Amino acid sequence: MKSIRVAVAAAALAVVMTACSSPMEAGSAAVVGNERISASDLTRNVQEYEAALRKAGVQPDQMGLPGSVPEVVLYQLANVKQAEQLVRKAGVRVSEGEVDQAIDAAQQQGATLDQNMLSRGMAPSLGRDYMRISVGIQKLLQQYGGGTDEAAQQRGNERLQKEAATISISFNPRYGKINQQRTEENQALFVDAGRFGKAAEPAQPQQQPQG
| The pLDDT value given to residue 23 | 54
**CA atoms of 101 and 105, how far apart (whole Å):** 6
Do the domain assignments include residue 159? yes
Rounded to 10°, the helix 69-89/127-145 angle is 50
Q: Are 131 and 99 in contact (CB under 8 A)?
A: yes
Domain CATH number, residue 149 = 1.10.4030
Secondary structure of residue 95 in the 3-state scheme: coil
Q: What is the DSSP letter of 66?
A: S
pLDDT surpasses 90 at 65: no
**CA atoms of 30 and 33, how far apart (whole Å):** 10
Picking from 16-20, 26-30, 106-110, which range would have the lowest pLDDT averaged per residue?
A: 16-20
Kindly report the average pLDDT of the chain as a whole number. 82
Q: Which of 76, 82, 94, 66 is nearest to 188 (CA)?
A: 66
Amino acid at 188: A
Do the domain assignments include residue 101? yes
Secondary structure of residue 116 in the 3-state scheme: helix
| CA 47 to each of CA 41, 50, 111, 135, 173: distance values in angstroms, whole numbers, following the listed order | 10, 5, 22, 27, 22
Do the domain assignments include residue 44? yes
Do the domain assignments include residue 84? yes
Per DSSP, the residues of 103-119 read HHHHHTTT--HHHHHHH
**CA atoms of 14 and 136, how far apart (whole Å):** 12
Secondary structure of residue 160 in the 3-state scheme: helix
Confidence label for 126 from pLDDT (cuts 50, 70 and 90): very high
Do the domain assignments include residue 209? no
**CA atoms of 177 and 133, how far apart (whole Å):** 26
Do the domain assignments include residue 211? no
pLDDT surpasses 50 at 210: no
Domain of 39? 16-196
Number of domain units in the chain: 1
Q: How many residues comprise the chain?
A: 211
Do the domain assignments include residue 206? no
Do the domain assignments include residue 207? no
29-38: per-residue pLDDT in tens? 999 999 999 9
Q: Which of 64, 74, 53, 19 is nearest to 195 (CA)?
A: 74
Q: Are 29 and 42 in contact (CB under 8 A)?
A: yes
State mean pLDDT over 17-43. Answer: 80
**pTM of the predicted model, to two decimals?**
0.81
